[in-house]
A and B are shown apart, each in its own frame.
Chain A
Amino acid sequence: MSKPSLFVPLGVFALLAMLLAAGFGLDDPHHLPSALIGKPMPEFELVDVLNPDRVIRKEDLLGHVSLINVWATWCPNCVVEHPQFLEISRQGSIRVIGVNYHDDIEKAQQWLQKYENPYWVSVADTEGTLGIDLGVYGAPETFVMDAKGYIRYRHVGPVTRNVWLDTLLPVVDAVKREQVEQTAARG
C-alpha cells in the first residue's frame, strides 16, 4: 500500500465526524426557518374576538411596530407565556396583536377574561387561514412586524422572560431605531 492511502480511513473518519457535528449542531428540527422574514404581513379580514361585529384588516395594524402573537385556548404554552405578554403590554412600548388560532370565539373571550387581556386587539382566525398565510404550524408563535407591515422576525414556542429580553426586545429595538433613522433622513 502506498503511503498516502494509509490516511484514507482517517480522512473518511474526519469527514464523517464533521458531517455528524454539523448535523447535531443544527437547531431543533421542529423550528423551521420562516419563509416570511422580510416579506409583508399577509392581507386578512377577520373579526375582533372581543367584538365580533368589528372586522379587522391588515391596514388597521400598520403604523406601529407590533408583536403578532398566535395563541389559542387549547394551547398550554400560551398560558405559560401569557404573563410575559401582560408585562410587555403594560410597559406600552410595543403593541401586542393576538391571532386567535383555530379556536372558538366564546372560549377565547372567556380565556381573555380569566387571564386578563394583553392584546391591543385579537383577531379570530377560526379556520386557520391567516395561520397558513403566516406559515404557522402550531401555537404559540410570535412575529415582530414593523410599522410598514413587514415581518421582521419569528419566534416559535412560548415567549418567556428570557426570550423577550435576549431575542425579541433587541429585534424590536433595532427595528424602531431603523425607523427613527429613516424618518430623520427624510426630514
Chain B
Amino acid sequence: MLNRPFKSVAIICLLWSVSGAGFGAIDAYEFSDPQTQERYRILVDELRCPQCLNTNLAGSDSMIAKDLRREIHRLVQAGTSDAEVRQFMYERYGDFILYRPRVNKNTLLLWFGPLLLLALGLWLLHRFIFSKSKESGVDLSVEDQHRLHELLDDTENR
C-alpha cells in the first residue's frame, strides 16, 4: 500500500500528464479530414515557439505561438506539405524554430559533437585498457619467474 503523501504526488503527476494532451486543442480549429488534423498536431508539436525559449508551439499561450498555430492551420488546410510548412517557418524564424535543427556550418558541432566525444571516449578507453595490459606484462628475470612459480605452487598446494 502506498503511503499518503506519495499517493497524492502520484495523482498530481498523473493529472499533469493527462492535462498536457489538451494543449493543442485550445484553439478549436476545424479540419477537413483527420489526416490534416494529425499533420497539424505533429507540426505544432515539433516546432518551437520563438518567444518562449523552450516550449513548442502547441504548449505555448503566447501571442506569437497562437499566430503561428493559426498560420499552420491555414497552410495545412490549403494542402501545403509538411516540408513546405517547415520551410515557411525556417525562412522567417531561422534555425531556432526547428527543434531538430538542419545540418549547416552553425549546427555541425551540435550534430556531430556527441559522436566526436564518443570517439574520444572510445579512444581513451582503448588506450587505458592497452596500457593496462602492457603493464601486466612486466619483464621478469628468469630467477624472479622461477620464484614466482614456486610461490604460486606453494599457495595452490595449501
Contact = CB atoms under 8 A, between A and B. Distances in A.
A35 B67 contact: no
Contacts of A35: 90-94
A36 B63 contact: no
B126 interface: no
B129 interface: no
Given A2-B131, A5-B131, A138 B94 contact: no
Interface stretch (A46-54, A78-86, A125-133, A169-177): A125-133
B127 A135 contact: no
Contact of B92 (A5, A8, A33, A135): A135
A186 interface: no
Contacts of B127: 5
Q: How large is the interface on A (under 10, 10 to 19, 20 to 34, 35 or more residues)?
A: 20 to 34
Nearest to B74: A129
Contacts of B99: none
Contacts of B68: 132
Contacts of A29: 53
B112 interface: no
A137 B53 contact: no
Given A5-B127, A137-B51, A138-B51, A36 B92 contact: yes
Interface in B88-123: 90-94, 96
A88 B51 CA distance: 28
A32 B124 CA distance: 38
Contacts of B71: 129, 132
B31 interface: no
B94 A33 contact: yes
B128 A5 contact: yes
B10 interface: no
17 contacts: A2-B131, A8-B124, A32-B96, A35-B91, A35-B92, A35-B93, A102-B63, A102-B67, A128-B63, A128-B67, A129-B67, A129-B71, A131-B67, A132-B68, A135-B94, A136-B64, A137-B64
